[in-house]
């Protein structure tokens, strides 16, 4: 007896009374808390599965039913369930049958002859868990697709061996000017400026590309019209259609880089001005102040000029203070940039 506190809702689809009774006995042997429904044909099974107030944890399906062709039974049943796994119960042995059934979407198949309670329980539990994993994976793929295709940032996937584009989103198409069909005939290198090819070659031949997932890099890319843009790039290795690939997300930072360059040029001009004030303007100013100071101490200077010399000296002192303040502010900018 297996201890399992979960309540299971199970649909048995079986037209043979002996077989359906045997399956119910195995479930009772397991001592499961189970709500079991029996459908004797495809029509009854469809009615159970279409009911809004009933959700099954698993369907135990006979591979042949009287009211539907065996060749289409599994496909039709798979279309009628969502999260619910289907376990086919059959008297037919054969690899071809099992592979064909699983390829159509069933979770497992069991031979009726020699079927035990433990084997049935194991199949039910494993099928339910596999279905959960499948839908988690399927949901993850859907989220990836939405994030990829709806992202406002240009994104693409390329093959790590050939560097050919495998997929691009709408933002990349709009940003670079290529159609999706054109992208898929190109390699990643084709959107790099020719002068940056050595950087590309050094990067793809380095193991760095396999490490540092989503580490930011600052590169240049070239649009279809020839315009070169600055981009912030983040990437990560993924498996795309069973092949090793790299997912890339780019952010156009051309305007930001232009602003930074403008600020740097302005700071350079300010430094030049400060240097001019400090070394060019202050030199003659110092000479003028020395001359005024000499004239004030001279006995030959008329008394009526003394007041003018004092005003002239005070103005010079004020100008010298202004120049010192400009130089001090420039030094502060230098210290900030050095950090």
Residues 181 and 76 in one domain: no
Which of 147, 177, 208 terminates a domain? The answer is 147
SS3 250: strand
Q: Which residues contact 284 (CB under 8 A, 6 or more apart)?
A: none
27 is a domain residue: yes
Residue 117, class by beta-carbon neighbours within 10 Å (0-12 exposed, 13-18 middle, 19+ buried)? middle
Residue for token pair 């299971």 = 8
* Arithmetic mean of pLDDT, 122-141: 76
* Arithmetic mean of pLDDT, 122-147: 75
pLDDT in tens, 118-130: 999 999 999 888 8
Residue 307, class by beta-carbon neighbours within 10 Å (0-12 exposed, 13-18 middle, 19+ buried)? exposed
Residue 7 confidence (pLDDT): 84
Q: What is the DSSP letter of 187?
A: B
Strand-pair partners of 67: none
Residues 108 and 231 in one domain: no
334 is a domain residue: yes
2 is a domain residue: no
pLDDT in tens, 27-60: 999 888 889 999 999 999 999 888 766 678 899 9
Residue for token pair 């009628």 = 80
Residues 155 and 143 in one domain: no
pLDDT in tens, 259-281: 877 777 777 776 766 666 566 66
Residue 278 confidence (pLDDT): 61
Residues 91 and 196 in one domain: no
Residues 189 and 266 in one domain: no
46-60, 106-120, 323-337: lowest mean pLDDT where?
A: 323-337
Spatial separation of the C-alpha atoms in residues 156 and 314, rounded to whole Å: 68
DSSP strand pairing (154-159 vs 243-252): antiparallel
* Arithmetic mean of pLDDT, 307-316: 75
Residue 137 confidence (pLDDT): 58
Residues 306 and 238 in one domain: no
Between helix 70-80 and helix 42-49 the angle, nearest 10°, is: 10
- Supply the CATH number for residue 162's domain: 3.30.450.20
Residues 117 and 232 in one domain: no
Identify the band that residue 254 occupies on the pLDDT scale cut at 50, 70 and 90: very high
- Token pair for 294: 């000499």
Spatial separation of the C-alpha atoms in residues 83 and 73, rounded to whole Å: 18
Residues 86 and 177 in one domain: no
pLDDT exceeds cutoff 70 at 17 = yes
Q: Is 31 left (phi over 0), alpha (psi -120 to 50) or beta?
A: left
Identify the band that residue 97 occupies on the pLDDT scale cut at 50, 70 and 90: low
Q: Is the dihedral of CA 56, 60, 65, 70 positive or negative?
A: positive
pTM of the predicted model over 0.75: no
Spatial separation of the C-alpha atoms in residues 147 and 168, rounded to whole Å: 12
Residue 274 confidence (pLDDT): 65
Domain hosting 71: range is 7-147
Q: How many domains does the chain have?
A: 3
240 is a domain residue: yes
Residue 210 confidence (pLDDT): 52
Winning range, highest mean pLDDT, from 28-37, 88-97, 144-153, 330-339: 28-37
Q: Which residues contact 235 (CB under 8 A, 6 or more apart)?
A: 209, 213, 214, 217, 246, 247, 248, 249
Residues 33 and 114 in one domain: yes
Residues 226 and 120 in one domain: no
CA torsion, ordered 66, 70, 72, 76, to nearest 10 deg: 50
pLDDT in tens, 153-191: 999 999 988 999 999 999 999 999 999 999 999 999 999
269 is a domain residue: yes
Neighbours of 16 (CB within 10 A): 14
SS3 210: helix
Residue 301 confidence (pLDDT): 66
The 3-state DSSP composition of the chain as helix, strand, coil percent (nearest 5) reads 55, 20, 25
Spatial separation of the C-alpha atoms in residues 54 and 80, rounded to whole Å: 13
Average pLDDT over the chain reads 82
- Supply the CATH number for residue 20's domain: 3.40.50.2300
241 is a domain residue: yes
pLDDT in tens, 201-250: 887 665 455 555 557 889 999 999 999 999 999 988 877 877 788 889 99
Spatial separation of the C-alpha atoms in residues 213 and 317, rounded to whole Å: 60
**Which residue did the predictor score with more confidence, 144 or 152?**
152
* Arithmetic mean of pLDDT, 311-336: 72
Residue 95 confidence (pLDDT): 56
Residues 187 and 97 in one domain: no
284 is a domain residue: yes
Please, are residues 27 and 120 in contact by the beta-carbon 8 Å criterion? yes
1 is a domain residue: no
pLDDT exceeds cutoff 80 at 135 = no
Residues 58 and 34 in one domain: yes
Please, are residues 190 and 176 in contact by the beta-carbon 8 Å criterion? no
Q: Is the dihedral of CA 106, 111, 116, 119 positive or negative?
A: negative
Which of 147, 170, 201 terminates a domain? The answer is 147
Spatial separation of the C-alpha atoms in residues 96 and 147, rounded to whole Å: 39
Which of 89, 124, 147 terminates a domain? The answer is 147
Neighbours of 73 (CB within 10 A): 22
């Amino acid at each position: 007896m297996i201890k399992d506190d979960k309540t299971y809702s199970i649909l048995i689809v079986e037209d043979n009374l002996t077989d359906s009774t045997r399956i119910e006995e195995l479930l009772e042997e397991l001592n499961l808390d189970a709500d079991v429904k029996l459908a004797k044909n495809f029509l009854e099974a469809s009615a159970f599965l279409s009911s809004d107030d009933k959700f099954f944890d698993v369907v135990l399906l006979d591979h042949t039913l009287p009211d539907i062709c065996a060749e289409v039974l599994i496909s039709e049943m798979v279309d009628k369930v969502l999260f619910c796994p289907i376990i086919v119960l059959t008297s037919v042995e054969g690899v071809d049958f099992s592979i064909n059934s699983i390829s159509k979407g069933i979770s497992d198949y069991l031979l009726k002859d020699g079927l035990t309670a433990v084997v049935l329980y194991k199949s039910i539990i494993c099928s339910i868990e596999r279905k959960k994993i499948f839908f988690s994976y399927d949901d993850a793929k859907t989220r990836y697709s939405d994030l990829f295709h709806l992202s406002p940032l240009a994104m693409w996937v390329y093959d790590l061996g050939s560097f050919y584009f495998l997929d691009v989103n709408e933002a990349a198409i709009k940003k670079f000017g290529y159609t999706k069909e054109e992208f898929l005939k190109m390699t990643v290198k084709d959107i790099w400026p020719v002068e940056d090819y050595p950087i590309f070659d050094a990067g793809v031949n380095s193991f760095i590309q396999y490490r540092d997932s989503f580490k930011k890099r600052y590169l240049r890319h070239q649009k279809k019209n020839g315009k070169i843009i600055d981009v912030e790039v983040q990437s990560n290795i993924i498996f795309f259609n069973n092949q090793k690939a790299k997912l890339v997300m780019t952010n156009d930072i051309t305007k930001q880089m232009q602003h930074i360059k403008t600020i740097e040029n302005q700071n350079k001009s300010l430094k030049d001005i400060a240097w001019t004030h400090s070394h060019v303007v202050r030199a003659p100013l110092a000479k003028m102040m020395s001359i005024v100071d000499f004239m004030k101490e001279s006995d030959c200077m008329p008394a009526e000029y003394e007041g003018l010399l004092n005003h002239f000296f005070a103005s010079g002192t004020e100008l010298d203070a202004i120049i010192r303040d400009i130089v001090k502010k420039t030094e502060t900018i230098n210290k900030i940039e050095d950090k």
